[in-house]
Amino acid sequence: MNINQIKKLMDRKKTSHKGENGYALIIGGSEEYVGAVALAGLSALRSGCDSVTIAAPEKVSWTINRISSDLITHKIKGSNFNIKNAKEMVKYSDRFDAVCLGNGITRKADKFCQYFIKKSPRLKVVDADALKSMSFKDFHNSILTPHEAELEMLLVNSGKEFLLPKLKSANAKEKAEILQGNLRYFLQNNNVLLVKGSTDIIISRNKIAYNRTGNQGMTKAGTGDVMAGIVVGFLAKTKDLFKSAVAGSYVNGWVGDQLLKKKKGYSFIASDILEDLEKFSKVSRRAAIPLKKNKPKKKVVKKTIKKKPAKKKKK
C-alpha cells in the first residue's frame, strides 16, 4: 500500500452524512492506565471515523471526559471489567461498526475479554492485555495486534509453542510464511494477524504484507495504543480487515519517522504521534495531486540589424 491508496481510505464523499464514515467503540481503561484508552480513542478519530465512544470504568470515564470533549464515554459500574458486564457490552457493541478491545484494560479483565471476544460478532481490533489469555481458535472477524511477547503467549495458549524456536531464528518473510502456514484455522475465520516489530508483518488467509516504516523510538509506552486506534478508525470506516491493518501500521510508523527527523532523536512520545497525524493527510493530498509543470517560456532573441551607411552620391 502506498500513500495514495491510504488517502483513498481516508477520503469522504461530498454527500456523506454523520455516521456514514463509521462509529467506533473502544473498550478498555483502568485506574492504572487511563491514558492508553484515551490515546486509542483520539487516534481513531484522527484516522477518519465519525464518532468514537469509550466504554470504561466510571472513574476512568470521567477522567477521559476531562481529557477530551471529542470523545463520548459509556460508564461501566465498578473499577474493572468483569463477567457481569460482559453480556451488556456484547449487546451495546451492536450499535457500532467496529470495536477495539484491550487498551489499558489489565489482566483483571481476562474473563470479560474471553466472553466478549467469543460472543461478539462485531469487527474487532484486539490489542494488549485482551490477547494474553486467549487462543487463536477463539477469534473471528478480528485484527490481532501483538508484539513479540504477546505473540508467544498466544502460540503457547494455542498449543503451538513448537513454532517458537523456528520463529526466533527466522527473518520477516520466513516468519510470515511459518505463521500463515500454521494458523490456517484462525485465518479462515475472517481474521488478520498484525505482528508488531522492526518490520511489521500483516497476514490474512491469502495475503502477506510487510511494513518497514517506524523506528526504535516507537518502543515507548502508548505508541501501540495509538496504532490500535488508527486501525479501528480505518476499520469502522472501510469494514476491510486487511486494508485497515496495513494502513494503520503504515501511518503510525510514517508519523513516527517524521517525528524522528523533527525532534532529531528519540525524545518524541505517543501523544506527539497523535498530534502529528494530521500531517499525513496533508502529505497524502500533495502526493495525490500532480503538480502542473509550467512550460518554459521561449526566449525571444531580438536581432539587431546594423544599417549600412548610405552611399554618397557622385556629383
Q: How far is CA 141 from the centre of its chain?
A: 16
CA distance 64 to 74: 11
pLDDT at residue number 310: 57
Pairing of strands 98-101, 200-203: unpaired
pLDDT at residue number 303: 53
Query: For residue 9, what pLDDT band results from cuts at 50, 70 and 90?
Result: confident
Query: For residue 290, what pLDDT band results from cuts at 50, 70 and 90?
Result: very low
- For the ranges 5-14, 190-199, 208-217, 283-292, the lowest mean pLDDT is seen at 283-292
pLDDT for residue 267 is more than 80: yes
| Cβ pair 55, 89 in contact under 8 A | yes
- For the ranges 99-108, 125-134, 301-310, the lowest mean pLDDT is seen at 301-310
- For the ranges 1-5, 104-108, 153-157, 193-197, the lowest mean pLDDT is seen at 1-5
Beta bridge partner(s), residue 202: 194, 209
pLDDT for residue 216 is more than 70: yes
Query: For residue 132, what pLDDT band results from cuts at 50, 70 and 90?
Result: very high
Taking every pair of Cα atoms in the chain, the longest distance, rounded to a whole number of angstroms, is 129
What are the boundaries of each domain within the chain?
3-288
CA-derived radius of gyration, the chain:
26
Residue range 202-231: average pLDDT?
97
pLDDT at residue number 280: 77
pLDDT for residue 11 is more than 90: no
Compute CA distances 201 → 153, 175, 212, 216, whole Å.
17, 9, 9, 17
Q: What one-letter code names the amino acid at 161?
A: E
Q: How far is CA 246 from the centre of its chain?
A: 8
- For the ranges 6-10, 28-32, 45-49, 311-315, the lowest mean pLDDT is seen at 311-315
CA distance 203 to 162: 20
Which of 310, 315, 228, 218 lies closest to 270, judged by CA?
218
| Residue of higher predicted confidence among 125 and 307 | 125
Query: For residue 8, what pLDDT band results from cuts at 50, 70 and 90?
Result: confident
Give domain 3-288's CATH architecture.
3-Layer(aba) Sandwich (3.40)
pLDDT at residue number 72: 98
CA distance 15 to 11: 12
pLDDT at residue number 13: 78
pLDDT at residue number 288: 41
Percent of the chain with pLDDT over 70: 89
pLDDT for residue 286 is more than 70: no
Query: For residue 314, what pLDDT band results from cuts at 50, 70 and 90?
Result: low
Per-residue pLDDT of 138-171, as tens digits, reads 999 999 999 999 999 999 999 999 999 999 999 9
Compute CA distances 148 → 21, 98, 152, 201, 291, whole Å.
32, 25, 6, 11, 43
Residue range 210-217: average pLDDT?
96
